């Protein structure tokens, strides 16, 4: 098929296969990709609303055994820079989130061998007990798989236990590119193969939870592998219908073992537009302003995105890899309205919650995102002593006397 005939097919609302998607991605002018994506966005969201969510992006630990070559955030077991957030610290973060109108934590972290499944269950239960209406959008598929391996419980059992403790929905992190050649090269094959990532998501959806899906492109992947990733997500969505949204972002190379250079702004807009075209069974596409900056983030709205994502409040992972952008609610709304759309708050399932909150009450402006902990604070939360550590450094750390004054 020619580019023109593929474009006509997209305009008619018909599905394109992977081969045609690749042809479009590698051959169509950027403006054509954008127009096609915008046509689909307008068809799916004719009201002209662009949504966003007020929630907080928290990383409960940076200790990780996965050692992905693209990650600048993790610290190996025993590292002096490793941290685990305590329950009280997380409660404080929830209090701060609620104070600016947030109702959810996006909670993800490293594959820490010293945090067993009961730690997560107790944390979730404690959050729900203290904040019954607060939502936990937590634990990407590789984290769930890690807990399955650690606890030696099947994934469905782990998911069931986490849901019983308070898990509400699952973020789509850890997908990177769902092609095993890429995953081997990125050293993330062992944390989850492409099939494993998808099968965890299938279990999550079968358990009645909704999730998001993601794609990190621009490391060692080819255009064909990005298309394959999108097609695999589309297939699972056909099967379960469990994905609420898709988010793509470019690999951030600073301070990583893999190093290299970041994909360009045009690459991002083309990839976003292609995602909107291929993922015809996804309702929502988010802009990734946290990796692209506010300006290209806003331009996402012309290339298929209908959602500006989260105000985040806190961010640790992308910052470690060199990207430091911040948009608070007022700034997100300003960008949405400047692009000619109506800004509405939403929740994780994309139910609209109302107009911008900062117009109803005073909310302090935020110009930088918070971090998990102040630099150098690696203090050990008291409750960790209740849980067995698996690694030797973890066991030694927990048996050592607390150096802090009583």
Partner 1 sequence: MHDDLTAALDKIEAGAVLEDRDWQALTGGRDLIALGMAADTARRRRHADRTTFVQVVSVSVSAPVPADPIGGDAGEVRLAGRPATAEAAVAAVRTLADRAPGVPVTGFAYGDLDALCGHDPVRLGDLLVDLREAGLAQVASLAADALVDPEPVVGVLRGSGSAVSSLTFGEAVGSDVWRLMQRVKSWDGIGGICRALAPLPSAEPSPPTTGYSDLRQVALARLLVDNIDSIQVDWSRHGPKLAQVALTFGADDVDAVPAVASHDQGWRRSPREEIRRNITAAGFRPVPRNGRFEAVEP
Binding residues for partner 1, per CB under 8 A? 29-31, 34-35, 38, 48, 253-254, 261-262, 264-269, 292-299, 301-302, 322, 331, 334-335, 338-341
> Which lies closer to partner 1 via its Cβ, residue 115 or residue 302?
302
The b-or-e profile of 90-101 (16+ CB within 10 A means b, else e) is: beebbeebeebb
Sign of CA dihedral 3, 20, 240, 346: negative
- Per the structure block, which two tokens stand in for 45? 């969201």
Q: Are 33 and 273 in contact (CB under 8 A)?
A: yes
CB of residue 64 vs partner 1: minimum separation in angstroms? 23
> Which lies closer to partner 1 via its Cβ, residue 150 or residue 296?
296
Place of tokens 């997908």: 175
∠ CA(172), CA(309), CA(217), 5° rounding? 50
The CB-based long-range contact list for 2-8 (8 Å cut-off, 24+ gap) reads 3/27, 3/28, 3/32, 7/32, 7/36
> Which lies closer to partner 1 via its Cβ, residue 147 or residue 296?
296
CB of residue 170 vs partner 1: minimum separation in angstroms? 30
> Which lies closer to partner 1 via its Cβ, residue 225 or residue 383?
225
C-alpha 4/C-alpha 169 separation (Å) is 40
> Which lies closer to partner 1 via its Cβ, residue 168 or residue 221?
221
> Which lies closer to partner 1 via its Cβ, residue 30 or residue 349?
30
CA distances from 250 to 136, 208, 221, 397 (A): 26, 30, 11, 37
CB of residue 358 vs partner 1: minimum separation in angstroms? 14
> Which lies closer to partner 1 via its Cβ, residue 196 or residue 331?
331
Provide the Cα torsion 220, 222, 225, 227; round to 10°: 130
> Which lies closer to partner 1 via its Cβ, residue 31 or residue 382?
31
> Which lies closer to partner 1 via its Cβ, residue 259 or residue 349?
259
CB of residue 233 vs partner 1: minimum separation in angstroms? 25
> Which lies closer to partner 1 via its Cβ, residue 213 or residue 320?
320
CB of residue 195 vs partner 1: minimum separation in angstroms? 32
Q: Are 163 and 202 in contact (CB under 8 A)?
A: no
CB of residue 265 vs partner 1: minimum separation in angstroms? 3
CB of residue 253 vs partner 1: minimum separation in angstroms? 8
C-alpha 123/C-alpha 128 separation (Å) is 9
CB of residue 211 vs partner 1: minimum separation in angstroms? 29
**Number of Cβ atoms within 10 Å of the Cβ of 50:** 27
CA distances from 378 to 62, 318, 400 (A): 11, 20, 14
CB of residue 340 vs partner 1: minimum separation in angstroms? 4
CB of residue 50 vs partner 1: minimum separation in angstroms? 10
CB of residue 29 vs partner 1: minimum separation in angstroms? 7
From the list 178, 176, 145, the residue with the least C-alpha distance to 162 is 145
> Which lies closer to partner 1 via its Cβ, residue 243 or residue 249?
249
Cβ neighbors of 46 (< 8 A, separation 6 or more) are: none
C-alpha 383/C-alpha 369 separation (Å) is 27
Sign of CA dihedral 265, 268, 269, 270: positive
C-alpha 392/C-alpha 406 separation (Å) is 26
């Amino acid at each position: 098929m020619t580019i023109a005939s593929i474009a006509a097919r997209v305009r008619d609302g018909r599905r394109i296969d992977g081969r045609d998607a690749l042809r479009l991605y590698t051959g169509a002018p950027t403006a054509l990709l954008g127009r096609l994506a915008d046509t689909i966005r307008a068809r799916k969201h004719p009201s002209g609303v662009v949504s966003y969510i007020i929630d907080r992006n928290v990383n409960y630990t940076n200790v990780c055994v996965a050692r992905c070559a693209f990650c600048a955030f993790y610290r190996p077991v025993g590292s002096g820079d490793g941290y685990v957030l305590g329950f009280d610290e997380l409660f404080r973060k929830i209090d701060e989130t609620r104070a600016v109108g947030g109702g959810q934590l996006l909670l993800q972290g490293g594959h820490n061998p010293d945090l067993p499944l009961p730690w997560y269950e107790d944390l979730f239960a404690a959050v729900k007990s203290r904040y019954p209406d607060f939502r936990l959008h937590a634990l990407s598929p590789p984290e769930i798989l890690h807990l399955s391996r650690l606890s030696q419980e099947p994934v469905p059992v782990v998911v069931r236990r986490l849901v019983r403790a308070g898990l509400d929905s699952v973020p789509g992190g850890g997908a990177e590119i769902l092609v095993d050649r890429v995953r081997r090269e990125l050293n993330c094959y062992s944390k989850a193969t492409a099939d494993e990532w998808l099968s965890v998501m299938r279990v999550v959806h079968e358990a009645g939870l909704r999730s998001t899906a993601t794609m990190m492109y621009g490391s060692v992947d080819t255009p064909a592998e990005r298309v394959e990733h999108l097609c695999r997500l589309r297939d699972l969505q056909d099967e379960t219908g469990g994905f609420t949204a898709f988010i793509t972002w470019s690999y951030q190379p600073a301070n990583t073992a893999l190093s290299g250079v970041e994909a360009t702004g045009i690459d991002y807009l083309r990839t976003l537009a292609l995602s909107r075209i291929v993922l015809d069974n996804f309702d929502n596409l988010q802009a990734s302003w946290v990796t692209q900056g506010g300006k290209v983030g806003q331009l996402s709205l012309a290339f298929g995105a209908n959602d500006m994502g989260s105000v985040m409040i806190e961010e640790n992972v992308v910052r470690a890899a060199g990207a430091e952008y911040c948009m608070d609610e007022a700034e997100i709304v300003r960008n949405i309205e400047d692009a000619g759309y109506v800004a509405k708050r939403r929740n994780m399932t994309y139910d609209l919650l109302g107009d911008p909150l900062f117009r109803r009450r005073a909310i302090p402006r935020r110009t930088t995102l918070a971090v998990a902990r102040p630099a150098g604070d690696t203090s050990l939360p008291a409750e960790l002593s209740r849980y067995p550590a698996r690694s030797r450094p973890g066991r030694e750390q927990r048996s050592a006397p607390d150096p802090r004054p009583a």
